[in-house]
Amino acid sequence: MMHKQLATHLQFLSVLGGLTEHPLVQRYRSALEALRSDSTAFGWEYGALCELVYRIGDVRQALLEAVHCDENALNARLSDPSAWLLDAATHDLAVLNGLLALSGSDLLADARAAFPDLRGCTEGMPDFPPSGSLPFSTGAALAAYYRENGFGFFARANAFAVQRGGTLQPVAYPDPIRLSDLPGYERQKKAILTNTLAFLAGRSANNILLYGDKGTGKSSTVKAIVNEYATRGLKIVELPPRMVIEFPKLCERIAAAPFRFIVFLDDLAFDEADENFAALKAFIEGGLAGRPENMIIYATSNRRHLVRESFSSRQGDDIHLRDTLETATSLSDRFGLEITFSVPDKEEYLYIVDELAAGYGVALPAGELHLLAERFALRRNGRSPRIARQFISQYLAEKHHSEE
């Protein structure tokens, strides 16, 4: 495709027409269209294109991500795309690959041919090399890419958070923790892992409530499992308990996405009169609308029954007491799996310290390491994986300071 034809062909993008709003495509188009205007207009547009190319760096990757995250007619008809649709996608890919093949030198050569006043005075002008092509050039190949890798909004990241108003936002810097970073609690991790793998395979799986003492790694375990299986299309969406009312809208958004999702409710606890308590009960199980098959709920809590009870809650006759207890347990009972994370005993705490020390290259005799770790835990009023990690971090900081 000739360079001068690219501007015209850009106007006929159809399947990938949404990419005309991408800043990079807009800059390419403006520079190409300026070749039909005058040298001053071209100079402005060419300089702006160069600046954006320099800032982005990997132009090919930027366009690949845009195609991957695009929601278009092809991925809406992915099960049985027509020949017309595939041909239209092939045309659009040829245009995008044509843009990627352009170099600054190509555009400057076209400008010298179009504007006599530029001949002989483009030496030293900014330049940029051509970029590699996209990994697909036909509509059929793009359809295969979408089937294997997914598409749309949720292709942008592996972790998302629900914001005020129910909007979804990709998490810019998700916690990179992996299961290998979490020594101990092997039985608990195995149960969660088994359930998650069943979910990924499309088999029956349970919602999970992880409850127990603070600092025992409940939240970290959920995030680590998502990181382990992100390459298999597993995503996590954190839904703050105070935004439970957004649950139906979130389900609708998730149901249409070609990925599998853990909806994560962290630090779940309600007051008795909290309207979110009844809402979540209905959403998990009991309401008219069921959860999508590609969604599962993992929640953490420091409370087994999830409801903060007062002494007055337990006063009254036997019927009143039974009703109160049934209300308190009615939400936790809707989780098919309840996994307890208790404070580790001394032996398990020191095992966690040993594993973390080995991972961070701490070379201390076991006796000295254990003595320091126990002293640290005593000052922090208890043992936990979090305390063990904080101990190792402090030891390394002090060691580094003493060596300076």
| Cβ atoms of residues 350 and 385 within 8 Å | no
> Looking at residues 126-152, what average pLDDT do you find?
96
> Looking at residues 340-361, what average pLDDT do you find?
94
Please choose, from the candidates 12, 6, 4, 20, the residue with its C-alpha nearest in 3D space to the C-alpha of residue 88: 12
Q: For the chain, what are the domain ranges?
A: 3-151, 156-341, 346-403
Please report the pLDDT score of residue 321 as a whole number: 42
* Buried residues in 321-356 as b, exposed as e (16+ CB within 10 A): eeebeebbebbbebbeebbebebbeeebbbebbbbb
pLDDT at 328 over 60: no
16-30 confidence digits (pLDDT tens)? 999 999 999 999 999
| Cβ atoms of residues 340 and 370 within 8 Å | no
313-324 confidence digits (pLDDT tens)? 445 544 444 444
Write down the pTM of the prediction: 0.83
Provide the 10 A C-beta neighbour count for residue 83.
9
Q: Choose the weakest-confidence range: 127-136, 143-152, 214-223, 280-289.
A: 280-289
CA distance 351 to 67: 47
Please report the pLDDT score of residue 364 as a whole number: 92
CA distance 302 to 306: 8
Please report the pLDDT score of residue 305 as a whole number: 55
Please report the pLDDT score of residue 352 as a whole number: 96
pLDDT at 384 over 60: yes
Which CATH entry fits the domain spanning 156-341: 3.20.20.70, 3.40.50.450, 3.10.129.10, 3.40.50.300? 3.40.50.300
49-101 confidence digits (pLDDT tens)? 999 999 999 999 999 999 999 999 999 999 999 999 999 999 999 999 999 99
